[in-house]
Structures are given as structure tokens and as C-alpha cells.
Copies of this chain bind each other. A is one copy, B any other.
Amino acid sequence: GTKMAFAGDELAVEEVGRDSFRGIDIAFFCAGNEASAMYAPIAVGEGAVVIDKASLFRQDPKVPLVVPEVNPEAVGTHRGIIASPNCSTIQLVVALWPLHQAAGLERVVVSTYQSVSGAGREAVGELTVQTGEVLAGDEPRPQHLPWPIAFNLIPRIDVFYPDGYTAEEMKLILETRKIFALASLRITATAVRVPVYWAHSEAVTVETRRPLSPEEARTILAEAPGVSVLDDPARDLYPMPRDAAGKDEVFVGRIRRDFSVENGVNLWVVADNLRKGAATNAVQIAELIRG
């Protein structure tokens, strides 16, 4: 019954049911794995194309996992469901893909600095409440995140697997491989929650097969779709979450040689996890379908 503003109109939120998808061309799903499991097949049965933000179908070989700047052609293979990747994956692949095309990825090491909005609306409120508690000298009480996040870091996002990786780290690894169609890409990840509201940041160390100078990388990225290069140390310009919040682009800066390998560059990649990391990417997929 809640009213929501949309394109100048007001829409009433309705409960989803078996009949909700009749006459729908494109259905955006962003209510988690359970909702996608229950209703995506129904929507597909009614003839809708489902663009799904949940993780459920992402590794299904019959479901394309699409970032339009990287693998738009994969949309054509769908059988009703198209998956949109995890937020931290999307910004990574948008920055890496043009470099891969130019020089061939050899190995990628990524460390993330992820905002609380990635954990949902409650985590956003929790950061505010806990920040006030810490400033007042009180002990912050975690509710939605596993430990206090105010003025702290939590090196765990999503659940742990037996090998010590978190699901978030494995999403970064496996989704990147699938989107690039590079099943054996050498990539490792550490995912960390930071006390920032909006936008995820990533320190990325890229080893390439062929030489790639920072200048070449900068030129390639400046021309790449969806990327905005912000890299001017002399003017103290580099991407930061406060500037990326509310924007659709993936911002890349701190581009420099990695001297520890023969062909390597380091990057700093920042994007709004709710925009390009979620809504924007889904809308771009819809635009691809509609042609």
C-alpha cells in the first residue's frame, strides 16, 4: 500500500502473487534469493524477461550474467532470466575489461572497501546510530552487521566458506570469471566493510600478459564505456566514495606501475554500489533487451 514516486507519478506498492506478472515484459527482481526462487519461474512462465539482482542464478550455466559494458552479447542467450552481478563485481569488471582487451589479464588481486549500504537499509541506519553512540562514549550495539561498524572495519561480508573465504570474496572471483568467459582467470580477493554510507572502493593490482604502461591504461580507460578516469595527483584528484555517491560511472584513479611484476598496474576503483552496482546495471540490461 505504500506509495512511491516514479517518473512524476505515484505508484502503490502491491504484494506479489501468482498473477502479478501477466502482461509484464520485463520484471526487475531485487528482493533476494528466496523471492527470486519462488517468483522468477512464474514470471518467465508468463512471458516476462526477469532481470535478477539476487545471487541465486548467477552461476547457473543457463543464465547469462551481464554487465553491458563487458558482455552485452550474452543477453541474447537468455531463456527468460538474466542475472545482474554483485555490486563489487560490476565496478571491477567495468574497469578491468578494457585493460584485458588491450593487454590480456594474467592475474588480479583486489582488496575492497565496501560501504554499509551494500548490507541494506538497516545497516545504513546502524552506522548512524552507532556513530552517535561511540561519540557519546557509549558501547555500540551491533544488530544487522556482525560487529560494530562505527569507526571500525569488519573484514567479513556475507557468510564464511570452509576454506576461509567469504561468499562476497567468492562472488568477486567467480562472477568475474563468468562475465569475462575466462574460467581459469587467476584472481584473489579480500572483502572488507568500512564505515562509509555509499559507494564501494577497490584497490586492484593487475598483472597483464603484454606490457601496459600507466599512460596506456589511462588512455584506454578514459575511452572505455562507463568509466570516468579521475587521476591527477598534482591537483590531489582521485576517486573517493563521497564524490562517487549518486553517480552512474565507475571512477578509476591512482593508476601507476606495479614494479613487483614485469607487466603490472595498480588501480583504485570507486563506484556507487546502489547505482552502477545495482539499479543502473539492471536498467542497462533492460535497455539491451529492448534494443
Contact = CB atoms under 8 A, between A and B. Distances in A.
Interface of A: 107-109, 111, 113, 127-128, 131-132, 135, 146-148, 151-156, 160, 163-165, 186-188, 190, 192, 194-197, 201, 203, 205, 214, 233-234, 236, 238-242, 253-261, 264, 266, 268
Given A107-B261, A205-B188, A153 B256 contact: no
B255 A196 contact: no
Most buried by B among A107, A151, A197: A151
A236 to B, nearest CB: 5
What is the interface of chain A mostly: helix, strand, loop, or mixed? mixed
A111 B151 contact: no
A217 B192 CA distance: 21
A185 to B, nearest CB: 8
Number of copies: 2
Contact of A233 (B160, B197, B256): B160
Given A147-B236, A188-B266, A164 B255 contact: yes
Contacts of A111: 111, 190, 203
Given A155-B239, A155-B240, A155-B268, 18 more contacts: A107-B260, A127-B151, A148-B242, A152-B242, A153-B240, A155-B238, A155-B253, A156-B233, A164-B214, A164-B255, A164-B257, A165-B256, A187-B260, A188-B259, A188-B260, A190-B203, A190-B254, A194-B194
